[in-house]
Amino acid sequence: MKYYSTNGKAPLATLEKAVVKGLAEDKGLYMPERIKPLPREFFDEMSQLSFQEVAYRVADCFFGEDIPAEDLKRIVYDTLSFDCPIVQVEENIYSLELFHGPTLAFKDVGARFMARLLQYFNKEEQVNVLVATSGDTGSAVANGFLGVDGIHVYVLYPKGKVSPIQECQFTTLGQNITAIEVDGVFDDCQALVKSAFMDADLNAHMKLTSANSINVARFLPQSFYYFWAVAQLERAKGKSQKAKDVVSPSSLALSRKEAEASVVCCVPSGNFGNICSALFGKRMGLPISRFIAANNRNDVFYEYLQTGEYRPRPSVQTLANAMDVGDPSNFARIYDLYGKSHDAITKDISGATYTDEQIADTIRQCLADTGYQLDPHGACGYRALKEGLRPGEIGFFLETAHPAKFKDTVEKITGCPVEIPARLAAFMQGQKQSVSMSRDFSDFKSYLLTQ
Ligand SMILES: *Cc1c(COP(=O)(O)O)cnc(C)c1O
């Protein structure tokens, strides 16, 4: 399968090139040339399959032409060493919990897949992964690549703008991971990374690759858990109709009315990589009727849906800081996927935007009403879904991170203690190691040239 650039001025790339280069020569984002629909039989049987089996079938559509089945299967099965369960929060509203991986956020899925794919392609040379993070990407990528031979990871993050818990997950690792603390905001970090890829001297000096959500190896695998969510809902339908016959480890059961409803999916969005993978899933036949993109106050996409005009602006800091993105990279992919048609986009996707106060209210209210503990990102998703559902629909939102990653924020809002899972507590014991950097590209460049 070949990959083209959303800017249309770069040559087609192989999967290997798209993964190693990250960004096309014309600064566009790579898109797979074809999106293969999955056959009807797959959807008929998906409720009987495991997460890994479902994911492998999806992965095969994208990567099957380029990676032998055995290798691809191993990469997929290794990546998904944890579950992404769907749980009921209240009638008609379900949470797809994406925080059961090593760093307690959905980015573990893409990062782990990419680390394994890059290792598969990278036979001899040393590769350097540059990643800008507004919080969770850095930890997911750093942990996904930790200890992988022949790969060094540089994590750029905005000084003072990620939570102490997020920070310790990429500054305490050592080995092949270097944390770079940039005196600026997330967009500055992203700009440094983009400039590095375009810089001839640097590229002559070292082999660079990106692990931001722009990389096809990170963003395509995110489609796996949308299929898995629907598979779990399908399985739960079966249970309401013939409860006794179906043996399933999950206790999820849909009411008859829920089983007949069409499924809506709500995605808390920042750089729009996650929702973009869901839209690819829909192209492959995934039965989700429509999507809601939930934003915090960084709502340029919401504005685009309302006005048809895309006007990026500097990001502002919010409680849901992993969504503090002022110019979401993956807008280019969505725009391309829908043939640049505002009408087509608004037919499939609607939006919502929330202030910090609304996010806090939602966390408090949901805990009081349902007992379910949201994190600030999931709170945007939950609220947008609850406000957006129409009669005859059920929906799931993505709980994109564990509330413990935002312990102080969440506890201050609810007054209730948030328990820290053991795998997170382990990071917090470590010693911080980081390199201070200005937001000037020349400083970053000189630093890399000495590496
Ligand atoms: C990265 C992140 C998001 C936003 O995902 P995008 O793919 O950038 O839209 C939402 N929630 C959490 C917890 C994240 O880490």
> Domains of the chain (ranges plus CATH)?
83-104+219-418 (3.40.50.1100), 107-216+428-449 (3.40.50.1100)
pLDDT band at 105 (very low <50, low <70, confident <90, very high): very high
Residue 117 host element (H or E): helix 107-121
Closest to 275 measured CA to CA, from 337, 363, 232: 337
Quote the pLDDT of residue 250: 65
pLDDT band at 249 (very low <50, low <70, confident <90, very high): low
State whether the beta carbon of 322 lies less than 6 angstroms from ligand 1. yes
What torsion, rounded to 10 degrees, do the Cα atoms 394, 400, 405, 409 define?
A: -50
State whether the beta carbon of 409 lies less than 6 angstroms from ligand 1. no
What is the percent of the chain with per-residue pLDDT over 70, rounded to a whole number? 97
Average pLDDT, the chain: 93
Alpha carbon of 324 to ligand 1 centroid (Å) = 9
State whether the beta carbon of 269 lies less than 6 angstroms from ligand 1. yes
Distances (CA, A) of 445 to 26, 199, 202, 276, 281: 21, 9, 7, 32, 38
Least confident of 29-43, 342-356, 415-429: 415-429
pLDDT single digits (tens) 364-397: 999 999 999 999 999 999 999 999 999 999 999 9
Mean pLDDT of 257-269: 95
pLDDT single digits (tens) 143-185: 999 888 889 999 999 999 988 888 999 999 999 999 999 999 9
Give the Cα separation of 448 and 303 in Å (integer): 38
Give the Cα separation of 333 and 23 in Å (integer): 12
What torsion, rounded to 10 degrees, do the Cα atoms 247, 253, 258, 259 define?
A: 0
Alpha carbon of 186 to ligand 1 centroid (Å) = 13
Mean pLDDT of 94-108: 95
What torsion, rounded to 10 degrees, do the Cα atoms 201, 205, 206, 210 define?
A: -10
State whether the beta carbon of 400 lies less than 6 angstroms from ligand 1. yes
Closest to 291 measured CA to CA, from 54, 213, 283, 364: 283
Quote the pLDDT of residue 240: 55
Please provide the DSSP assignment of 146-178 as one string: TT-TTEEEEEEEETT-S-HHHHHHHHS--TTEE
What is the percent of the chain with per-residue pLDDT over 90, rounded to a whole number? 83
Helix axes 407-414, 356-370, angle to 10 degrees: 70
Residue 430: DSSP 8-state: S
Question: One-letter amino acid identity for 254?
Answer: L
Quote the pLDDT of residue 239: 66
Highest mean pLDDT among 130-134, 248-252, 296-300: 296-300
State whether the beta carbon of 402 lies less than 6 angstroms from ligand 1. no
Quote the pLDDT of residue 26: 95
pLDDT band at 104 (very low <50, low <70, confident <90, very high): very high
pLDDT single digits (tens) 205-246: 999 987 877 899 999 999 999 999 999 999 998 765 544 444
pLDDT single digits (tens) 350-360: 999 999 999 99
Quote the pLDDT of residue 120: 92
Quote the pLDDT of residue 122: 84
Mean pLDDT of 309-321: 95
State whether the beta carbon of 277 lies less than 6 angstroms from ligand 1. no
Index of the ligand 1 atom closest to the CA of residue 136 = 15
Alpha carbon of 111 to ligand 1 centroid (Å) = 13
pLDDT band at 304 (very low <50, low <70, confident <90, very high): very high
Quote the pLDDT of residue 150: 84
Give the Cα separation of 442 and 81 in Å (integer): 40
Tell which one of 137, 161, 274, 321 to mutate to probe ligand 1, the residue whose CB is within 8 A of the most ligand atoms: 274
